[in-house]
Amino acid sequence: MQTNESGIPKMTRKRRLAANFSVGMYSKSLILARQLAIVPLFISAWGPEYFGEWLLISSIPSFLAMSNLGVGTSAATRAVLALGAQNYREANSLCLTAIVFIALFGGPLLLAVASLALLGFQFPVSSFELLGAPWPVFLILLGSVFPTQLCAPLEAYWIHGQRAAASSMILSTQVAVELVVTAAVVASGGMAFAVSIGILFSKLSCLVLYAVLSFSMVNRGAGATVSFGVLSKLLVSGIGFQLSAVWQAILFQGTLWVAALTLGTTGAAKWGTLRTLCRTGNQVLTLVNQSIAPELQNAIAKDEVGLARELHSAGVMVSIVLSVPMAIALSLFGPMVYEVWTKGMFSVPPFAWWLMSLSLVLHSFWWTSSVVHRASNRPWRINSLGVASAACSAFCMYYLSMAFGVSGLATGLVVFELIMAVFVLQSSLRILGDTLQQFCCRCTGIASSAIRTSKLLSRGKS
């Protein structure tokens, strides 16, 4: 049996895809459990207004998650390409430089934010009357961002060693720890400060475990250096990767503040809970994304263009097929589930549900395809488009929500998904040297093969 460089038996591609999918299921189940279980717990224990203030204060660190300037993601991507070419010293230097930069950048940022607190800087939009002093909570939540960022460069060794599933398993366990700790704190009467401490504890625990296991896979004999030249290269693509955090911050956290501006903190809670429930379908599509991403990245690193095209086509096709029944189920059963989930404290018009369902289908056309841009280390085009689309979406949400409430916010989300669906897929095809006609033919062939296989299996069972 063949083994990788760590002496671990290699798995076949199908088994690796299956393992990625299984761990992805575990990961997404935990994320959904956290989203779906915590909301009613928070609302029951804190009330909708305090919960709305918590959503606002906890959203801001996501804006500042751009603090590593994308260096972690850029280092992981470049290191996979370097490891694929057996340039172990280069890979080690990329990861070490990124880790040192993140650690050195994080400290001054936290000090700067602490200085704002001491100077009496006030948060915009909300006075946080129920939350009281928001700065301690904010600083702790901001500090909890960095353990996750420090893990990012180390992911390269897991992908190259064909252990992406094990990596995801460890990172997902952090979500489980965070869920248990948060639920225990809230159930015992803890408020925002105690919850933020629990989140920081869970992320630090994950970082220690992940770092120890990652170190065992590093080719330490190759050596490594911390280099400004390496850092400058990482920053070039890193800022492009960081634009992903920017557009997601605008689209998710930014529009939450838009809802607070136009509809108040209760309106922000309504929009946040509606979006959370509706994005359970997006989490399923992310599962497809995560299943194929390691294999696609290795295929591109080894210049296996044909395999990369097949993985891309299969991933996009599966996403689209899955999105349609999920969208129908969301539009039919979403209002009833939402009523029970939020304990009847919020009401959403039917038209908003149809718009959210439409956004899910549009999302399926581009989200899995976006993996190609990261795997090939070409983040600028897609993420620049994402920033422009998110800004356009937020602008639409602001004015439409004043006239149409939550339906206006949902319309703005559709605007974003539509723009991305139109442009991302064709950009991915260009990167892979593929054409839309070949892509469609490949999808048709994959679908036909899947149908034939299912028929044979059904006949065998009968």
Number of neighbouring beta carbons within 10 Å of residue 37: 14
DSSP structure string for 249-268: IIIIIIHHHHHHHHHHHHHH
Smallest CA-to-CA distance from 296 within 24, 9, 11, 80 is with 80
Query: Mind spelling out the 3-state secondary structure of 292-350?
Result: HHHHHHHHHHCCCHHHHHHHHHHHHHHHHHHHHHHHHHHHHHHHHHHHHHCCCCCCCCH
The pLDDT tens digits for 129-161 are 556 667 788 888 888 877 878 888 888 888 877
C-alpha span between 297 and 374 (Å, rounded): 8
* Mean pLDDT computed over 162-177: 78
Q: What is the CA radius of gyration of the chain?
A: 22
Percent above pLDDT 70 for the chain: 82
State the average pLDDT over residues 11-17.
63
Q: Is the dihedral of CA 316, 321, 327, 330 positive or negative?
A: negative
Helix axes 192-215 and 164-187, enclosed angle (nearest 10): 160
> Which of 4-8, 250-254, 287-291, 422-426 is predicted with the least confidence, judged by mean pLDDT?
4-8
Average pLDDT over residues 22-48: 73
| Least confident window among 5-19, 184-198, 237-251, 427-441 | 5-19
Asked whether 66 and 241 are in contact (CB, 8 A), the reply is: no
Question: What are the φ/ψ torsions at residue 3 (nearest 5 degrees)?
Answer: -125, 160
Which tens digits make up the pLDDT trace of 180-216?
Answer: 888 888 888 888 888 888 888 888 888 888 888 888 7
Rounded to 5, what percent of the chain is helix, strand, coil? Answer: 80, 0, 15
Q: What is the pLDDT of residues 249-289, one digit of tens each?
A: 888 888 888 998 898 888 888 898 888 888 888 877 887 88
Asked if 398 and 450 count as a contact pair (C-beta separation under 8 A), the reply is no
Closest by CA position to 406, among listed 270, 242, 215, 223:
270
377 with 435: CB under 8 angstroms?
A: no
Are 272 and 346 in contact by the 8 Å Cβ rule? The answer is no
By residue count, the chain amounts to: 462
Distance of CA 394 to the CA centre of its chain: 19
Selection from 379, 375, 382 nearest residue 296 by Cα? 375
Residue 410 has pLDDT above 90, yes or no: yes
Most confident range, picked from 290-294, 324-328, 371-375, 438-442: 324-328
